[in-house]
Amino acid sequence: MVRLFGPLVGLFFAVALLWSFGVGAIQAIREPEPATAVQVYHLAPHEPEPGFSFNGAFGKFDRAQLQRGFQVYKEVCSNCHSLHFVAFRDLAALGYSEAEVKAIAKDWSNKAKVVDPKTGDETQRDNVPADHFPKVYYAGTGNPPDLSLVTKARHEGPEYVYSLLTGYQDQPAELLKRFPDSKTPDGLYYNPYFANLNIAMPAPLADDQVTYGDGTKATKQQMAADVAAFLTWTAEPKMEKRKQTGWAVLGFLLAATVLAYLAKRNIWARVH
């Protein structure tokens, strides 16, 4: 009875899935979703020309690139965007010495805010390595997001950040002709990599905006790639360790599978 009931249950679920898929396909064919400006002109995020060194199963962070990306964040992005889930002491993983980390924390423009437990008064002090990057209180329009996890919160995160930073352009005449109501409002900027094409942040990068200590040419594309790599590290600082652990686990599972197969052959060798 149990043997008969099991296949019937499986058949029921298979039929239900096929029916659900068929109904959805028929509705999609009969009532196609009308094309919008975003769907027509939104482009797939792309990598910089050399690609990102951390992509792929064996990818690793380029420490020099991470330091350059941190410099771009510090000199350009930190005026508006927080990095509140990262502590100053985490920068040691980028190759900074203990003294350099202390200096970076102390010289950071936004000071740490502390509350006196007795009086409840809020005071400010210099940051120390154990502190997280202070939150930024932006006085302008819009609400700039915290960038700590931005590459995990966006599909194809590093590529998205790179494409967004390099994607500012004039609004295409073809777009306005096809969708007259899609004109970019005053105070916003057209960027085909942003979800609704119009973004409140003006283009943040320009050639030679920073001076790299290692002599790398600070083009807009180079700075965008560097800060995208840095923000990938802030979102997943243990990426390299995770990949190493993954390969070790796969090796263990492969060895266990081979041993299990050999044990099965040995146990059932005399059974005909």
Q: Are 163 and 93 in contact (CB under 8 A)?
A: no
pTM: 0.79
User: How much is the pLDDT for 3?
Assistant: 57
- Predicted local distance difference test score (pLDDT) of residue 7: 66
Q: What is the mean pLDDT of residues 17-26?
A: 71
Q: How does residue 109 score in pLDDT terms, banded at 50, 70 and 90?
A: confident
Q: Report the b/e string of 4-23 with b at 16+ CB within 10 A.
A: eeeeeeeeeeeeeeeeeeee
**Residue entry with tokens 């003294």:** 99
Would you call 131 helix, strand, or coil by DSSP? coil
Domain locations in the chain? 37-86+132-235, 237-266
Find the mean pLDDT for residues 62-85. Answer: 95
Residue 117, pLDDT score:
76
When comparing pLDDT for 244 and 35, which is higher? 244
- Give the SS3 label for residue 198: strand
> Is 37-86+132-235 assigned to CATH 3.40.50.620?
no
Tell me which DSSP letter residue 132 carries. B
Q: Examine the pLDDT at 269 and tell me if it is beyond 60.
A: yes
Tell me the pLDDT band of 91, cut-offs 50, 70 and 90: very high
**How far apart, in whole angstroms, are the C-alpha atoms of residue 209 and residue 79?**
14
Rounded to an integer, the average pLDDT of 91-117 is 90
Of residues 178 and 224, the one with the higher pLDDT is 224
In this predicted model, which residue has the larger pLDDT, 136 or 168?
A: 168
